[in-house]
Amino acid sequence: MLRTITLMTATLAVVPAFAQSIDRIEYGPRPFYLIDRMEDGPLKEQLQSCQNQEASRSLFSIGHRGAPMQFPEHTVESNRAAALMGAGILECDVTFTSDLELVCRHAQNDLHTTTNILATPLASSCKTPFTSADGDTSAVAECRTSEITLADYRTLTPKMDAADGSATTVEAYLGGTADWRTNLYSAEPAMLMTHAESIELFRDLGARFTPELKSPSVEMPFNGFTQEDYAQKLVDEYIAAGVPASDVWLQSFNLEDVLYWIETEPEFGAQAVYLMDEYDIEGYSSMDASTWPNTMDELKGMGVNYIAPPTWMLVTLNDDEIVPSELAIQAKAADIEIITWTLERSGPMVNGGGWYYQSIADVVDSDAVMYELIDVLAQDVGVVGIFSDWPATVTYYANCMGLE
């Protein structure tokens, strides 16, 4: 049941739109659009057989920053949309302000693409002021939460994450939304959140929690705030809110953060998720364990029970059939649970699907391949959750296949 929320500060005391309750989960048209375009076969028949099923919330379906395919990410509205689509777990990427308050942003230095900061007096706080495009040189800017206070942050208006590198004015730079997304739900200001406010919102929406501790853009310690302080403050806000550790999947790309939680907050550390970006290592291959900085057995020995690689690291092709990668096989053998990211982030997939589909690009020629990939991830790789920018796609599959 969705209730009126009392937020943490006087400036945002009540959110009137949240007096309305969620009576049922709704898929919308997209799952059916994708299924209609699938090649005939058993999977399509199974998915079609579920077209009249009652939609329900699923922990297998994770809202990636809410539902940012169409809503400004990390806003109340984006997460409410994700919850309506059945996402059982919602994400707040966490960073901090200059007064060391935790807020929901994908990066500490993304305010110039996710808010209107460049068009406000706070533009003077930006680490890199807006510089217009000039010939072959793209427009640039960089604005950080660590340069402003929480009170300053609350004055900003969120927008779709985008920027026009060819812009010669701030107004143009703040555009750039991909043509397969929309600004429809940005016309009226959406609402930013602190991390503590996200906890209250997600709980009222009936969802569980997967906060990600984002890497700082500033050198740590920052104003006396150490990396350990940062990791601990994240956990402390769940403890203060009375959220049980079993409802929280802490995340970080920094293995040291995960190991810190495992050692100092073992109840939370048991579900801490190591986000994998080893693909940035020269020579790395998810098909060759000799290129990995840590084997799956080594990670398990450190106490890591969950990993989260991007989708393409978990699959490969065998005679044009999507199959598990060596990484996926060894993680399963080591008894490590797998979560993966991110569906519905690539736009139309008629030309290979881009970064998230790179290991199977030769068979990606339609958005309909998405359900083939989801099926392999669920049935063969054995993932326990999938992040999506439009959670209804994953929720439909989970409901149809009887996943929790």
Model confidence band, residue 9 (pLDDT cutoffs 50, 70, 90): very low
Over 50: is that where the pLDDT of 49 sits? yes
CATH placement of domain 10-92+193-401: 3.20.20.190
- DSSP letter, residue 20: S
Over 50: is that where the pLDDT of 14 sits? no
pLDDT, residue 180, reads: 95
Q: What is the mean pLDDT of residues 106-125?
A: 98
Query: Alpha-carbon distance 388 to 395, whole Å?
Result: 10
Single-letter code of the amino acid located at 339: I
pLDDT in tens, 281-314: 999 999 999 999 999 999 999 999 999 999 999 9
Three-state DSSP class for residue 223 = coil
Minimum mean pLDDT among 19-28, 228-237, 335-344: which range? Answer: 19-28
- DSSP letter, residue 41: S
Over 60: is that where the pLDDT of 238 sits? yes
Query: Alpha-carbon distance 318 to 360, whole Å?
Result: 10
pTM of the complete model:
0.94
All structural domains of the chain with their residue ranges: 10-92+193-401, 110-180
Over 90: is that where the pLDDT of 24 sits? no
Model confidence band, residue 5 (pLDDT cutoffs 50, 70, 90): very low
Over 50: is that where the pLDDT of 10 sits? no
Could you tell me which residues are beta bridge partners of residue 209?
90, 248
Model confidence band, residue 11 (pLDDT cutoffs 50, 70, 90): very low
How far from 334 is each of 30, 76, 128, 176, CA to CA, in Å? 36, 38, 45, 44
Kindly write down the DSSP assignment for every residue of 274-328, as one continuous string. EE--GGGSTT--TT-GGG-SS-HHHHHHTT--EEE-BGGGGEEEETTEEEE-HHH
Query: Alpha-carbon distance 339 to 354, whole Å?
Result: 20
Over 50: is that where the pLDDT of 178 sits? yes
Over 50: is that where the pLDDT of 73 sits? yes
pLDDT, residue 32, reads: 98
Model confidence band, residue 128 (pLDDT cutoffs 50, 70, 90): very high
Joined tokens for residue 30: 């997209």
Pairing of strands 93-96, 102-104: antiparallel
pLDDT in tens, 355-380: 999 999 999 999 999 999 999 999 99
pLDDT > 90: percent of the chain: 94
